Amino acid sequence: MIDVTALAVFIPTFFIVSITPGMCMTLAMTLGMSIGVRRTLWMMLGEVCGVACVAFAAVLGVASVMLNYPDIFTILKYLGGAYLIYIGINMYRDKGSLAVENQDSKNVSKYSLLSQGFVTAIANPKGWAFMISLLPPFININYAVAPQLSMLVVVIMLSEFLCMLVYASGGKTLKHFLSRGNNIIWMNRIAGSLMMVVGIWLATT
């Protein structure tokens, strides 16, 4: 069981995290442009599996502490909220850049794409930081942890997949849009502002 209000806040929050240009979204876009959306699906599968592993690994340790030492939950809540506010400020101030690498190989194997997505997900330090700070405050220690965490991970995987599909399908259009003028700066500012709001919400509820 998971709190409906918390879930209603978590879904748009993680969608904001996912849709913001980063390692995985840029990879999806470049592969979509070079090898096509259908073959890029293999990379997406590896990425969502990697993200799920990061989420479980990052949260289970924190959740076990929460269950054994409930008073620590309050500290984690404040730290998580403060960290999200910090990330939001950095995102707001980020000038933004879209580093696109050429991926011209048409013969890359499905296994290579799968492993590339998986490794990109688990090697992303920002992903670990987000999972450790973002997930625990949404878990209610009065209910079983496993069902709550499973629900949140399902939301994360769907959000990541849908956003990568948008980037892979958009391809050249998204690249042109994000590279033009201050579009990526404004995108970071909007995402950063919303992230700060969520951080304040987590710390005060």
d(CA 13, CA 35): 31
pLDDT the model gives residue 62? 66
How confident is the prediction for the chain on average, in pLDDT? 76
Name the percent of the chain lying above pLDDT 70.
67
Of residues 171 and 7, more confidently modeled? 7
Domain that holds residue 87: 4-204
Of residues 39 and 188, more confidently modeled? 39
d(CA 13, CA 69): 27
pLDDT the model gives residue 177? 67
How large is the average pLDDT for residues 83-104? 61
d(CA 185, CA 97): 9
* Closest by CA position to 93, among listed 198, 200, 195: 195
Q: pLDDT band at residue 49, thresholds of 50, 70 and 90?
A: very high
Q: pLDDT band at residue 98, thresholds of 50, 70 and 90?
A: very low
pLDDT the model gives residue 96? 53
Write the single-letter amino acid at 123: A
Helices 110-122, 23-34: axis angle to 10 degrees equals 160
The reported pTM is 0.69
pLDDT surpasses 90 at 125: no
pLDDT the model gives residue 102? 45
pLDDT surpasses 80 at 159: yes
pLDDT surpasses 90 at 158: yes
pLDDT surpasses 90 at 129: no
> What digits encode the pLDDT tens for the residues 188-204?
676 677 667 767 776 67
- Number of structural domains in the chain: 1
Sign of CA dihedral 13, 19, 20, 26: positive
pLDDT the model gives residue 136? 74
pLDDT the model gives residue 205? 63
Tokens of 89: 């400020």
